[in-house]
Chain A
Amino acid sequence: MASFWEYANPLKFMRTTDWLLPVVTWAAVIVTTVGLVWGFFFTPDDFRQGSTVKIIFLHVPAAMMAINIWVMMLVASLIWLIRRHHVSALAAKAAAPIGVTMTLIGLITGAVWGQPMWGTWWAWDPRLTSFLILFLFYLGYIALWAAIEDPDTGADLTAVLCIVGSVFAVLSRYAAIFWSQGLHQGASLSLAPGTRVDWAYKAPLYISMVGFGLVFLALLLAGTRTEIRARRMKALVTRERMA
């Protein structure tokens, strides 16, 4: 079994993702389609929520991915800072726009569901607030990447920002819980006994969650490949100029 660290070599990474990317992309398309189509068309309406319950198949996976992508960026930033693997820094850079999109999907679907169910698009509930704050953190991270010319400096600075930001994001989450009472229901899925969600909903939900994970992986690989290619092109242009 090849070591994970081998993929720090851009060449090796490109060669592996050459065949891996189409596989992951197709898997992502198929699994997400199955999950969403099953969720939207082949589940019963909830007796209280009606058909709005089906937003869960977009909302929960997107929200889950929004948080997981930030964690992935944190790990990639640490790997970059400690072991200086360029692919890792580029992967963190490529992950941020996907993360911000997932956060936005989570917020918008939540608002669309909240309007008929809670009677309001928005509430200053801890969960909603922390998600908005996460959105701001993503924006700051992306803006810092965009502002810095030198790629290595940019990678270093954004990595430190990601680490410091993570600490403050967690602090903000608990501050928000302290600050306001919640309207949002508790976790829809949990390992604790006494399940709250019926299997009729849970099965397609799990499938969409896996699908969203695959979508992220496919977009991440594609984004990282683009970044590596852009880096190579820059190097070529520089070499041309030097000659």
Chain B
Amino acid sequence: MRDLRLALRAGGGFGLGLAFFLILAVLVPLGVGPAPETLALIAPGILWVGALLACLLSLDRIFALDFEDGSLDLLATAPVPLEAVVTIKALAHWLTTGLPLVLISPVLGLLLFLPGEAYLWLILSLMLGTPALSVIGTFGAALTVGLKRGGLLLSLLVLPLYIPTLIFGAEVVSRGAQGLSVATPLALLAGITAGAVALLPFASALVLRINLR
């Protein structure tokens, strides 16, 4: 089933999130000016906010297509627990959005003059943090699946839920850039991801059942 999901994803807007991330990283220097010191200072935050927004962009696609053609109803009645379906969906979203963002982030870090020590922490923090973004986003997508004007509402619902992940993720990178110890925010970030991955699929499945009722 996972393969099926992935194939399905590859068909539609796979690189869109990536392109958005890239454009953001190009626009910011154009907006704030090309001074390396300024850019280096704000690079961790920009990269994390960019990753978060790029994630957000593809969220409504998680369930929308399957809902329209009815395959979501089939999945819900399939002999697989809906919690597992939701988890796989989140995993598929992460593989198509989160992972490419992690891989491209060093290049964008280069564009933004991210200090050398921070690259490792940038990759590590995104690696640890983006799964949480996907899982939380799947919950938001499940909440708004049946709605016509779901897109904007989805961002309004999901963005506040992203706040803790963003704070700790950006903190890891900016502390890494200053050469400080990153153990505490990194552990907290991993904790949020672990907690979200463990618990939120139940909430998403519950919400999905309500929406399919």
Contact = CB atoms under 8 A, between A and B. Distances in A.
A153 B210 contact: yes
B159 to A, nearest CB: 7
B88 interface: no
B139 A164 contact: yes
A133 B160 contact: yes
Interface string A115-146: 00000000000000000010011011001100
Interface stretch (A91-99, A169-177, A224-232): A169-177
Given A153-B213, A164-B139, A178-B185, A171 B206 contact: no
A175 B167 contact: yes
B143 A161 contact: yes
Interface in B127-162: 139, 143-144, 147, 149-150, 153, 156-157, 159-161
A140 B139 CA distance: 14
Contacts of A165: 160-161
Given A139-B156, A144-B153, A168 B164 contact: yes
A136 B188 contact: no
B72 interface: no
A143 B200 CA distance: 21
Nearest to A158: B143
A161 B140 CA distance: 9
Interface in A166-211: 168-169, 171-172, 174-176, 178-179
Nearest to B191: A171
Contacts of B60: none
B16 interface: no
A134 to B, nearest CB: 9
B164 A156 contact: no
B203 A157 contact: no
Contacts of B168: 175, 178
Interface string B167-207: 11001000000000000110010001000000010010011
A57 to B, nearest CB: 30
A150 B184 CA distance: 45
B38 interface: no
Nearest to B167: A175
A78 interface: no
Interface of A: 133, 136-137, 139-140, 143-144, 147-148, 153, 156-157, 160-161, 163-165, 168-169, 171-172, 174-176, 178-179
Given A136-B156, A157-B211, 11 more contacts: A140-B156, A157-B143, A157-B210, A160-B206, A160-B207, A164-B203, A169-B160, A172-B164, A175-B188, A178-B167, A178-B188
The 7 A-B residue pairs with the shortest CB-CB distance, nearest first, are A171-B164, A175-B167, A175-B164, A136-B160, A156-B210, A172-B163, A140-B157
